[in-house]
């Protein structure tokens, strides 16, 4: 069942790549498993899926301990500084960095594990009041500041577009993030190798791929609707 959903999403990504003249190998599908049980993750794991996204530190910790070690875990939810230490040893990428203070904490905790953690800056491209993330104007100074931190590497940008009925409405936001990325690459700070664009969710990932997404974060279309009863 979940395997079929996964296949369908993979096919849609390939189709969007064809439309845009892109290589499907350049798009990583992150299966967003928040609130979903370990059995569901294992079903997809057996089908070959290795990249999973989680929003809550406690839940991520429990799953990472229990599940196979070659799973690549992506932290995509809002992250509090005092919780970074719980994931610093194994997290593969943190998509939701929205302040220098948080990036500094990640660098400090990564150093304790003798590693460098790849991070993305979360950008609120649509300027929604309810969303976390930097404004596009804040990005250049932040990218510069991060380039001086020894144990993080800025790999790119992430956004969550508004929830809309017609995903075409989000094309303009994805395009804006892609432009921001091109601008940052041309600046080329030492400690930054900006090539990741994390954008597109169940509702709009096809449009995001057409606009250059290199990571899409898909939950509902793979796992089905979420039940938040036991989550904050």
Ligand X SMILES: *Cc1c(COP(=O)(O)O)cnc(C)c1O
By the criterion CB under 6 A, which residues form the site for ligand X?
32, 34, 55, 76-77, 160, 201-203, 217-221
User: Count of residues for the chain?
Assistant: 232
Short-list 90, 28, 102, CA closest to 63: 90
Closest CB to ligand X among 149 and 156? Answer: 156
Q: Smaller CB distance to ligand X: residue 149 or 222?
A: 222
Minimum gap (Å) between residue 32 Cβ and ligand X: 4
- What distance, in Å, lies between the first and last C-alpha atoms of the chain? 28
State the virtual CA torsion across 62, 63, 69, 75 in degrees, nearest 10: -100
CB of 72 to ligand X, least distance (A): 16
Q: Which CB sits closer to ligand X, 49 or 151?
A: 49
Which DSSP string corresponds to 53-104?
EES-HHHHHHHHHHS-TTPEEEE-S---GGGGGGTTTT-SEEEEE--HHHHH
Shortest approach of ligand X to residue 154 CB, angstroms? 18
The CB-nearest residue to ligand X is 219
The three-state secondary structure class of 117 is strand
Least separation in angstroms between CB 30 and ligand X = 8
- Smaller CB distance to ligand X: residue 32 or 139? 32
Nearer to ligand X, 22 or 36 (CB): 36
Which secondary-structure segment (H or E) carries 179? helix 171-187
CB of 191 to ligand X, least distance (A): 25
């Amino acid at each position: 069942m979940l395997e079929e959903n996964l296949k369908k999403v993979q096919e849609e990504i390939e189709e969007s790549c064809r439309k845009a003249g892109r290589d499907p190998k350049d798009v990583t599908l992150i299966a967003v498993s928040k609130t979903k049980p370990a059995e569901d993750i294992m079903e997809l794991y057996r089908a070959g899926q290795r990249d999973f996204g989680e929003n809550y530190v406690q839940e991520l910790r429990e799953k990472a301990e229990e599940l196979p070690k070659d799973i690549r875990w992506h932290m995509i939810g809002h992250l509090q500084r005092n919780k970074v230490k719980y994931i610093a040893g194994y997290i593969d990428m943190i998509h939701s960095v929205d302040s220098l203070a948080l990036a500094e904490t990640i660098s400090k905790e990564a150093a304790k594990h003798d590693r460098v953690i790849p991070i993305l800056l979360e950008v609120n491209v649509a300027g929604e009041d309810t969303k976390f993330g930097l404004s596009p104007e804040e990005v250049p100074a932040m990218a510069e500041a991060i380039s001086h931190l020894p144990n993080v590497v800025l790999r790119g940008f992430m956004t969550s577009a508004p929830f809309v009925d017609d995903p075409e409405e989000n094309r303009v936001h994805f395009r804006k993030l892609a432009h921001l990325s091109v601008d940052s690459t041309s600046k080329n700070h030492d400690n930054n190798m900006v090539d990741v664009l994390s954008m597109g969710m169940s509702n709009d990932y096809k449009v995001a791929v057409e606009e250059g997404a290199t990571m899409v974060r898909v939950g509902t279309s793979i796992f089905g609707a979420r039940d938040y009863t036991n989550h904050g």
